[in-house]
Structure 1
Amino acid sequence: MTTPQEELLPSTRRALLHRIAAAQADGRAPSVVAAVVRGGRTVWTGARAWSGEAVPDADTQYRIGSITKTFTAVLVLRLRDEGVLDLEDPLEKHLPGTGAGKATVAELLAHAGGLAAETPGPWWERTPGALRPELADVLGERPVVHPAGRRFHYSNPGYALLGALVERLRGASWEDVLRREVLEPLGLPRTGVRPLAPHADGWAVHPWADVVLPEPAEDLGRMAPAGQLWSTVGDLARFADFLVRGDERVLGAASLGEMRTPAAPAEAADVAGGYAYGLGMELRHQEGRALVGHTGSLPGFLACLTIGVEDDVAAVVLANCTAGIPVFSLAADLVRTVAEAEPRIPAPWQPMREADPELLELVGPWYWGTQAYALKLSADGLLSLEPLSGTGRRSRFRPNGDGTWPGLEGYYAGEVLTPVRRPDGSVGHLDVGSFVFTRRPYDGNAPVPGGVDPEGWRGTG
């Protein structure tokens, strides 16, 4: 139940309904159901269905395919945060004997482990998991097709390995660990490995005729961590909010931010298309908007969860057809519709509670050579270095507790900003990863690398 302040405008709600109605009709989908989350709350749900299909609601289950991978990645990051493993550990350290153990945990999460995209035939999504009872059956005789760490190559078997890793380190099935550590704490009762009524049936729609064919719904066995789950737009809306804000019972906001950070070497076509991959999450750019989340598909079902983090708007789309609905474009349009029709209202500006004179001495204009920068101090206690021209390297820096400031993003991520003081205690210059920033361009009183001509600045007359 939303409060009046949280409700969308009638015009926005109609635009959302029109978008999914057009998608269902144009895509000839048996049904489509969607939800929009804003400010951590579900503010809209909508659905369309053919006359022979019950109109779904926020509680109707669909298969969500590879969105399952994001759930598996959360389990792995939990193990890292507990100190049970390191993301740079080779798989062999914890799960020996697979034949793919040179890949690190991080590389598997980011689809950069060099593993094959699919299992040996027959196609695992449309056949019983009992055909592949062991990891060796999932990986086959040639599990590795690229050198580990060199390129992004989407791998479903890679996530089967991560699920097996979870099982080995937790001493319980992937299903049980997922339910105990993620689904129950987050309150996702309608998410699980098997369908529970009410649920949609999967259909294939003939490409050249308005007729349909039922699709099989197989138990994927060892491949479950790559795509087994069923869920609802209601549950996935709550999961989307968790992926932004975190929940210390499951995974903190910092680790979720790490999941949303590009982690795989991108292919040239992916760079051009605005696509990257983090740790179990897809990162895309659509019409200038950064979106994170995951898509999913299994025979008979399509799914997408996408989040505009800056807009604080997320969308979930589920459909029960094998093809025909461009679910990412549809979900991205739902985010854009809300973000543009009802822009996020910024929180009120707040000043700092206390002013530290030593920090105030750092702020203001600085020069790297002849390029002008501004160093600013915000109420959250971070410093930001920004080029005054509007283009160039920029970063925020956090206090390290010893007078130094590690960078948080961009070129200066991990590099250290150090205020260097003169004998009288005043700040003479800033050292940022060996770059010297001075109060005047090429200040002769600062240790500018290469020195400064002693005659100083001059005209040409």
Structure 2
Amino acid sequence: MTTSQEELLPATRRALLHRIAVAQSEGRTPSLVAAVVRDGRAVWHGARSSVDGHGPDEHVQYRIGSITKTFTAVLVLRLRDEGVLDLGDALEKHLPGTGAGEATIAELLAHSGGLAAESPAPWWERTPGSLRPELADVLGKQPLVHPVGRRHHYSNPGYTLLGALVEKLRGAPWEDVLRREVLEPLGLDRTTVQPQAPHAGGWAVHPWADVLLPEPAEDLGRMAPAGQLWSTTGDLARFAVFLTRGDDRVLSARSVREMRAPAAPAEAADVVDGAAYGLGLQIQYRDGRLLVGHSGSLPGFLANLTISVEDDVAAVVLTNCTSGPLTAGVGADLVRIVAEAEPRIPEPWRPLPEADAAVLELAGQWYWGTHAFALRLTPDGGVSLEPLSGFGRRSRFRANDDGTWTGLEGYYAGELLRAVRRPDGTVSHLDLGSFVFTRQPYEEGASVPGGVDPEGWRGIG
């Protein structure tokens, strides 16, 4: 008897159930529901409840708080991809008169625009949005608390501005644009601005007694793009697949990969095992694994979405208490359990269907000074360059139409790689952002900056 590769092994399923059972019990929460995604589909759902021990299914809504920001970021990236705006544009260019217009759109997405963390009192998460009908009510008299672009400082009002930007450029309310451009194409019909039955109620659990207090579920009004949404583990599992692979109906794989790239470091006090922030996504290195996603909280609810792109595993954790289980830790553990118990089976190696002779000629060993590198052709039609041994600068490169390549990551991201040829057509060297790579270290006659000593290599006697 064999097990389908789409199914999890019984021991893995029990380990997942044990983890959420411990989280619900030790976290003292009325209910906790979770899902795991692998290979592009949900493969496990589990829940625990204080009522009967089983808990809600994948169709029950919970409030997801700041995971809403990731949805708002997707809307902004769509505008960028359509050429309506550039991420380097100052907000003032498209949404004038806010008092925070010096910040760029990219800085707002990455929480480095210098804005305050919260709106002026009263606490926006526990009061009606009708108290803040205008942007000025959200931003206050002094929107900026730090120099623009100088540091990462998480800002809820920053995402209110991004929501207002979407409304201005689309000419429609944020929630209508979100439903039309993201929720409907991805089939997220249980992700809504207002709760729809069946949904969980939000609770506060007394820290010193096993008693509960209901939390209000306010309409956040202008602050909605920062934290309004309700969703389910089923919908967020599908959203995790989108954030891993992209969907050309919403955002390309290239654009969601850009969202996952670090755009701002975390504040020093928030760093645990190394953390950063992308464009609407939190990024963390935990136990040697790169995780992306987002957490969320509003009075009565905690939420987390965690993705390991390399393992092709994601986890969703939702619970209905104001404070309790550390959902980010639970999500990371669910990913780890699956990734370690059932490692991803690699795709079979296959030869390239064809190879450009001019590119194949470049494959092999190159030297930057005395540092040895290897250039390889990649299955996607690009090339990669990496040290032959040890640590060093490495990158994949995307092919351009003119025979050059553009770096995709690390030190060489955005840098141009080109093969420089002699008059007879043979390759002289590689030029990578002014760095010269030759077939031999300091090759005689090569265009090495500063020249090569004509006496060549020598010993010292």
Fold match, TM over 0.5?
A: yes
Query: Which ranges of structure 1 fall in alignment gaps of 5 or more residues?
Result: none
In the TM superposition, residue 401 of structure 1 has moved relative to its aligned partner by 2.0
**Aligned-residue RMSD, C-alpha:** 1.4
- CA offsets, 1:396-420, max 9 Å, x none? 1222122222211111111111211
Please show how residues 305-316 of structure 1 align to structure 2 within 5 Å.
Answer: 305-316=305-316
What is the CA–CA distance in structure 2 between the aligned matches of 1:201 and 1:52, rounded to whole Å?
16
- CA offsets, 1:63-95, max 9 Å, x none? 000000001111111111111111111111111
Matched residue, 1:159? 159
Matched residue, 2:350? 350
Aligned to 2:293, the other structure's residue is in SS state strand
Matched residue, 1:65? 65
Aligned to 2:136, the other structure's residue is in SS state helix
Matched residue, 1:328? 328
Aligned to 2:315, the other structure's residue is in SS state strand
Aligned to 1:293, the other structure's residue is in SS state strand
What is the CA–CA distance in structure 1 between the aligned matches of 2:371 and 2:238, rounded to whole Å?
46
Aligned to 2:399, the other structure's residue is in SS state coil
Aligned to 2:323, the other structure's residue is in SS state coil
Aligned to 2:264, the other structure's residue is in SS state coil
What is the CA–CA distance in structure 2 between the aligned matches of 1:415 and 1:110, rounded to whole Å?
23
- CA offsets, 1:119-161, max 9 Å, x none? 1001000011111111111111111111111110100011111
Matched residue, 2:104? 104
What is the CA–CA distance in structure 2 between the aligned matches of 1:222 and 1:391, rounded to whole Å?
48
Asked if the contact 2:48/2:54 (under 8 Å) is kept, the reply is no
- CA offsets, 1:161-218, max 9 Å, x none? 1111111111111111111111111111111111111111111111111111111111
What is the CA–CA distance in structure 1 between the aligned matches of 2:296 and 2:183, rounded to whole Å?
19
Matched residue, 1:285? 285
What is the CA–CA distance in structure 2 between the aligned matches of 1:426 and 1:207, rounded to whole Å?
74
In the TM superposition, residue 267 of structure 1 has moved relative to its aligned partner by 3.4
Please show how residues 217-296 of structure 1 align to structure 2 within 5 Å.
Answer: 217-270=217-270, 273-296=273-296
Question: CA 1:381 to 1:358, structure 2 compared with 1: closer, same or farther past 3 Å?
Answer: same
Q: Which amino acid aligns with 1:34?
A: A
Matched residue, 2:12? 12
Asked if the contact 2:372/2:387 (under 8 Å) is kept, the reply is yes
Q: Which amino acid aligns with 2:91?
A: L
What is the CA–CA distance in structure 2 between the aligned matches of 1:443 and 1:143, rounded to whole Å?
58
In the TM superposition, residue 273 of structure 1 has moved relative to its aligned partner by 3.8
Aligned to 1:32, the other structure's residue is in SS state strand
Please show how residues 430-445 of structure 1 align to structure 2 within 5 Å.
Answer: 430-445=430-445
In the TM superposition, residue 97 of structure 1 has moved relative to its aligned partner by 1.3
Asked if the contact 1:30/1:53 (under 8 Å) is kept, the reply is no
Aligned to 1:372, the other structure's residue is in SS state strand
Identify which range, 408-417 or 260-269, moves more after superposition. 260-269
Q: Which amino acid aligns with 1:379?
A: P
Matched residue, 1:199? 199
In the TM superposition, residue 5 of structure 1 has moved relative to its aligned partner by 2.6
In the TM superposition, residue 383 of structure 1 has moved relative to its aligned partner by 1.0
What is the CA–CA distance in structure 2 between the aligned matches of 1:374 and 1:251, rounded to whole Å?
33
What is the CA–CA distance in structure 1 between the aligned matches of 2:160 and 2:403, rounded to whole Å?
45
User: Normalising by the residue count of structure 2, what TM-score does the alignment of the two structures yield?
Assistant: 0.97
In the TM superposition, residue 257 of structure 1 has moved relative to its aligned partner by 0.9
Asked if the contact 1:91/1:104 (under 8 Å) is kept, the reply is yes
Instruction: Note if 1:141 corresponds to 2:141.
Output: yes
Asked if the contact 1:80/1:86 (under 8 Å) is kept, the reply is yes
Please show how residues 408-423 of structure 1 align to structure 2 within 5 Å.
Answer: 408-423=408-423
Query: Which ranges of structure 2 fall in alignment gaps of 5 or more residues?
Result: none
Asked if the contact 1:150/1:265 (under 8 Å) is kept, the reply is no
In the TM superposition, residue 54 of structure 1 has moved relative to its aligned partner by 7.8
What is the CA–CA distance in structure 2 between the aligned matches of 1:393 and 1:427, rounded to whole Å?
23
What is the CA–CA distance in structure 2 between the aligned matches of 1:305 and 1:188, rounded to whole Å?
15
What is the CA–CA distance in structure 1 between the aligned matches of 2:22 and 2:54, rounded to whole Å?
18
In the TM superposition, residue 272 of structure 1 has moved relative to its aligned partner by 6.0
Question: CA 1:54 to 1:176, structure 2 compared with 1: closer, same or farther past 3 Å?
Answer: farther
What is the CA–CA distance in structure 2 between the aligned matches of 1:272 and 1:189, rounded to whole Å?
35
In the TM superposition, residue 271 of structure 1 has moved relative to its aligned partner by 5.5
Percent identical:
77
Aligned to 1:398, the other structure's residue is in SS state strand
Aligned to 2:177, the other structure's residue is in SS state helix
Matched residue, 1:42? 42
- CA offsets, 1:369-407, max 9 Å, x none? 111111111222111111012310111122212222221
In the TM superposition, residue 53 of structure 1 has moved relative to its aligned partner by 8.6
Question: CA 1:314 to 1:413, structure 2 compared with 1: closer, same or farther past 3 Å?
Answer: same
Matched residue, 2:186? 186
Asked if the contact 1:30/1:49 (under 8 Å) is kept, the reply is yes
Show structure 1 runs of 4+ deviating over 6 A.
Answer: none
In the TM superposition, residue 35 of structure 1 has moved relative to its aligned partner by 0.1
Equivalences, count: 459
What is the CA–CA distance in structure 1 between the aligned matches of 2:85 and 2:191, rounded to whole Å?
27
What is the CA–CA distance in structure 2 between the aligned matches of 1:455 and 1:393, rounded to whole Å?
30
What is the CA–CA distance in structure 2 between the aligned matches of 1:162 and 1:355, rounded to whole Å?
45
- CA offsets, 1:23-77, max 9 Å, x none? 0001111100000000110000000000279821100100000000001111111
Matched residue, 1:123? 123
